[in-house]
């Protein structure tokens, strides 16, 4: 949901696909809000039904009237890849957010929730806009000295806006750089494979080249002919890749657990086509030059010396191309192995809470039209009914997901000066939370019915916070204040620690458990959105039983999520699993390309040495000797390439550690980078390369030498 004013589309330069946008009168508070449904949402969730215009629906339990369908080319203003389901008028905010802290935000000057966007008039510069806005800011500061002093206004051009500033932006940049490097490696392997195949094919076309030269063709004409073939080949590959990319993006978009607008961009497609042309020329040029350098007389006589040497020396083009393929494949497979080991270690982590037998259900009575008081009553009735389900051992209620969700807070200790502020995480829990999830209580007590809004504020901390912040494993009785970064010490909420619980894992690649404290739901002023229960039987059956109980209380109650804890944890690891699958797939492609390239080279070598090998067999050489003769040089090259791959992998991992280590919340010890993993990847590469070289050699060893000699 996004809240917008009547001038929003005018600034964006768009217009509704159907219906209308908000009017200036709808910017003012009124009894009922207006809504514009997003175009993507209209297609996916309303089946492109034009009859929804004028229909009244409920959002968060509040009635709003659909007045239009959003622009096709406008997905969201908050992030370029997210999808906005509904735009609501400003007048709808107090109605839709009723019962939450955001309901009165239009009357609180201290809140900074909204961004102002403007389109500059022709001829007006950004500096002039900044000067004008600064004048407005000074006037506001003079008119409202209690809230506005010191709060200036920043004018930022739209092309300089950062959607996720600070550390998230850095991590995204690191991930994008890593993915680009991986894709670049695959491209380099594919290109070297293409160059190898063209080199092999061109060397076998010495007679054709010599005939063309003999009848008057110039070498430059032949080079253009070879380059045309390589570019066409790369373009066919680009067309297949674009089709596969389009299908893959549609599949990935359907798997992402939140609304997103991920499509193939024409600029990316143009770049891919241009890159295919450039690589086709760049990696086809060397084979073209080599293939057109022939001894015309010898080639016309059919002598092997007429063709350009394929390169039996160590520093040949053939060996260089093969080495690039093997080293690049090793780096990719090593990266996939590191991520795989990291995923295995992640799954092997003890979460610190119960997983089996735990069911989760998301609901909020306020979205069905209940007032805050009635919503609390309905939640109590839901909890009471779930408690009576056979096999239920414990239940709880919380805000947000049951695990893995937290909010950063700034805390100050009562007995430490203000300069000693610290940032920690906070979550919410109700009576029964720690019992249901079987999180051990180390000291003090858990939340119970005493922790009501009119009672002294309390909190429970995990052992990491007790140790890091208070310097003792038992922090019961200590006091601190929590709040936002902009709040003064007096504005922050004072709480007393009543218990210390065992650390729980966030199930992410973190260096250590985070300092975390829990607040009782009743005192925190948050809405209950998740109900959890633990059973001695099957959690899936419990999920179904919980849904039946909610429907029996009120069929209009929404159900946001209904899943087991195991399913929730799988959802939390979605991006890690998809990243592992992507990297593993690219590694498999690289291995296949390297094997194909090596096979083609060895197969061509066998054909070129067919007479020699036939004579050796006729003179009494065994099949194994012939196989070893063919494989020997390739084996040495593969061994050297794998050794270089090992060294480059170790160096790349050290660079990765140095770059990622300063980022908080990211694992520093890359557990996949050990000797076992390196040896396993090296063994896989050696087996694959050995197989690619062995089969052509084995086929040559079983050739009848008489057939070969008769061809002399």
In angstroms, the CA 100 to CA 372 distance is 9
Decide if 325 contacts 189 (C-beta within 8 A). Answer: yes
User: Rounded to an integer, what distance in angstroms lies between the CA atom of residue 86 and that of residue 2?
Assistant: 6
Q: Average pLDDT in the 152-179 region?
A: 66
- Please give the mean pLDDT across all residues of the chain: 77
For range 541-551, the mean pLDDT = 90
Average pLDDT over residues 306-319: 55
Higher pLDDT among residues 24 and 618, named by residue: 24
Which pLDDT score, from 0 to 100, does residue 442 have? 92
Average pLDDT over residues 421-446: 88
Residue 449 has pLDDT above 80, yes or no: yes
Residue with tokens 């908050």: 78
565-607, pLDDT tens digit by residue? 888 887 777 766 777 777 777 777 777 877 777 777 777 777 6
> Rounded to whole angstroms, how far apart are CA atoms 484 and 492?
8
Alpha carbons 302 and 307: distance in angstroms, whole number: 9
Residue 501 has pLDDT above 90, yes or no: yes
Per-residue DSSP letter, 308: P
For the full predicted model, state whether its pTM sits above 0.95.
no
**pLDDT 10s digits, 216-232:** 778 888 888 888 888 88
Confidence grade of residue 712 (pLDDT, cut at 50, 70, 90): low
Nearest to 338 by CA among 649, 570, 690: 649
Counting Cα atoms < 13 Å in the Cβ hemisphere of 21 gives 18
C-alpha span between 591 and 588 (Å, rounded): 5
Element (H, E) at 676: helix 675-701
CA distances in angstroms from 480 to 424, 494, 538, 549, 592, listed in the order given: 12, 6, 41, 40, 59
Give the residue with greater pLDDT, 311 vs 542.
542
| Amino acid 307: pLDDT | 46
Q: Is residue 705 pLDDT above 70, yes or no?
A: no
Please answer whether residues 151 and 137 qualify as being in contact, where contact means their C-beta atoms are separated by less than 8 angstroms: yes
Where does the pLDDT of residue 309 fall: very low under 50, low under 70, confident under 90, or very high at 90 and above? very low
> Looking at residues 419-439, what average pLDDT do you find?
83
More confident residue, 289 or 296: 289
Q: How confident is the model at residue 213 (pLDDT cuts 50, 70, 90)?
A: confident
**pLDDT tens digits for range 86-110:** 888 888 877 777 666 566 677 666 6
Give the span between the Cα atoms of 376 and 372, in whole angstroms: 6
- Mean per-residue pLDDT, 415-434: 76
Helix axes of 675-701 and 610-618: crossing angle, nearest 10 degrees: 70
Q: Which residue has the higher pLDDT, 174 or 115?
A: 115
Q: How confident is the model at residue 518 (pLDDT cuts 50, 70, 90)?
A: very high
Q: Give the tokens for residue 208.
A: 């054709």
Closest CA to 503 of 413, 432, 437, 414: 437
Q: How many CB atoms lie within 10 A of CB 240?
A: 10
Confidence of residue 253 (pLDDT cuts 50, 70, 90): low
Question: What pLDDT shows up at residue 498?
Answer: 93
Q: What is the mean pLDDT of residues 252-257?
A: 62
Percent of the chain scoring above 90 in pLDDT:
7
| CA 74 to chain CA centroid, nearest Å | 23
Which tokens go with 259? 């609304």
Handedness of CA 148, 151, 155, 160 (dihedral sign): negative
Q: What share of the chain is helix, strand, coil (3-state, %, to 5)?
A: 55, 15, 35
Task: Kindly calculate the radius of gyration of the chain based on its CA atoms and give it in whole angstroms.
Answer: 34
Q: What is the mean pLDDT of residues 643-664?
A: 70
Q: Per mean pLDDT, which range of 1-10, 85-94, 311-320, 397-406 is the poorest?
A: 311-320
**What is the DSSP pairing of strand 516-520 with strand 422-429?**
parallel
Instruction: Dig out the tokens for 478 from the structure.
Output: 């200590």
């Amino acid at each position: 949901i996004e809240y917008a004013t009547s001038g929003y589309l005018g600034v964006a330069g768009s217009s509704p696909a159907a219906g209308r946008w908000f009017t200036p009168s709808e910017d003012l508070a009124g009894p009922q809000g207006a809504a514009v449904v997003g175009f993507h949402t209209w297609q996916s969730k309303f089946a492109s039904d034009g009859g929804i215009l004028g229909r009244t629906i409920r959002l968060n339990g509040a009635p709003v009237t659909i007045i239009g369908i959003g622009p096709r080319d406008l997905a969201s203003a908050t992030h370029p890849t997210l999808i906005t389901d509904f735009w609501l008028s400003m007048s709808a905010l107090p109605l839709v957010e009723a019962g939450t802290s955001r309901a009165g935000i239009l009357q609180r000057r201290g809140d900074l929730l909204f961004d102002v966007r403007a389109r500059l008039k022709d001829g007006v510069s950004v500096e002039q806009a900044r000067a004008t806005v600064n004048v407005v800011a000074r006037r506001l500061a003079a008119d409202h000295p209690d809230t506005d002093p010191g709060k200036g206004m920043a004018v930022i051009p739209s092309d300089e806006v950062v959607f996720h500033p600070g550390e998230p932006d850095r991590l995204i940049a690191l991930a994008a750089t890593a993915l680009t490097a991986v894709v670049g490696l695959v491209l380099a392997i594919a290109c070297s494979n293409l160059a190898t195949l063209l080199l092999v094919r061109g060397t076998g076309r010495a007679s054709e080249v010599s005939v063309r030269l003999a009848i008057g063709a110039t070498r430059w004409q032949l080079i253009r002919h070879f380059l045309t073939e390589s570019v066409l080949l790369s373009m066919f590959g680009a067309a297949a890749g674009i089709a596969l990319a389009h299908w893959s993006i549609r599949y990935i978009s359907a798997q992402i657990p939140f609304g997103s607008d991920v499509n193939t961009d024409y600029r990316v497609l143009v770049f891919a086509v241009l890159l295919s042309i450039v690589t086709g020329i760049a990696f086809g040029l060397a084979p073209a030059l080599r293939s057109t350098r022939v001894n015309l007389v010898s080639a016309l006589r059919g002598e092997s010396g007429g063709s350009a040497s394929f390169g039996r020396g160590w520093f040949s083009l053939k060996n260089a191309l093969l080495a690039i393929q093997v080293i690049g494949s090793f780096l990719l497979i090593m990266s996939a192995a590191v991520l795989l080991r990291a995923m295995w270690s992640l799954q092997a982590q003890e979460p610190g809470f119960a997983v089996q037998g735990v069911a989760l259900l998301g609901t909020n009575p306020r979205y069905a039209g209940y007032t805050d008081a009635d919503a609390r009553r309905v939640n109590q009735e839901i909890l009471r009914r779930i408690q009576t389900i056979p096999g239920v051992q414990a239940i709880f209620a919380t805000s947000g997901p049951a695990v893995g969700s937290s909010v950063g807070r700034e805390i100050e200790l009562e007995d430490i000066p203000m300069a000693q502020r610290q940032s920690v995480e906070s979550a919410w829990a109700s009576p029964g939370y720690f019992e249901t999830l079987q999180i051990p209580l180390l000291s003090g007590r858990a939340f119970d019915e005493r922790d009501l809004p009119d009672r002294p504020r309390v909190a429970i901390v995990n052992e990491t916070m007790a140790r890091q912040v208070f310097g003792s494993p038992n922090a019961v009785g200590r006091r601190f204040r929590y709040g936002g970064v902009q709040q003064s010490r007096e504005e922050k909420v004072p709480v007393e620690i009543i218990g210390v619980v065992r650390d729980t894992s966030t199930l992410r690649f973190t260096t250590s458990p985070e300092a975390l404290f829990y607040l009782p739901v009743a005192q925190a002023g948050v809405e209950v959105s998740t109900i959890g229960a633990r059973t001695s039987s099957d959690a899936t059956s419990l999920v179904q039983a919980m849904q039946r109980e909610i429907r029996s209380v009120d069929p209009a109650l929404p159900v946001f999520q209904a899943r087991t804890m195991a399913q929730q944890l799988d959802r939390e690891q979605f991006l890690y699993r998809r990243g592992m699958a992507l990297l593993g797939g690219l590694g498999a492609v690289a291995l296949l390309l390297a094997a194909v390239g090596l096979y083609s080279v060895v197969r061509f070598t066998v054909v070129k040495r067919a007479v020699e090998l036939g004579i050796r067999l006729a003179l009494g050489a065994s099949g194994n000797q012939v196989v070893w003769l063919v494989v020997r040089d390739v084996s040495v090259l593969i061994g050297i390439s794998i050794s270089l791959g090992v060294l480059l992998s170790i160096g790349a991992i050290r660079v990765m550690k140095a770059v990622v280590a300063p980022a908080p919340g990211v694992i520093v010890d890359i557990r996949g980078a050990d000797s076992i993993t390196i040896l396993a990847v090296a063994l896989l590469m050696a087996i694959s390369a050995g197989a690619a070289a062995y089969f052509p050699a084995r086929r040559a060893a079983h050739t009848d030498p008489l057939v070969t000699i008769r061809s002399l």
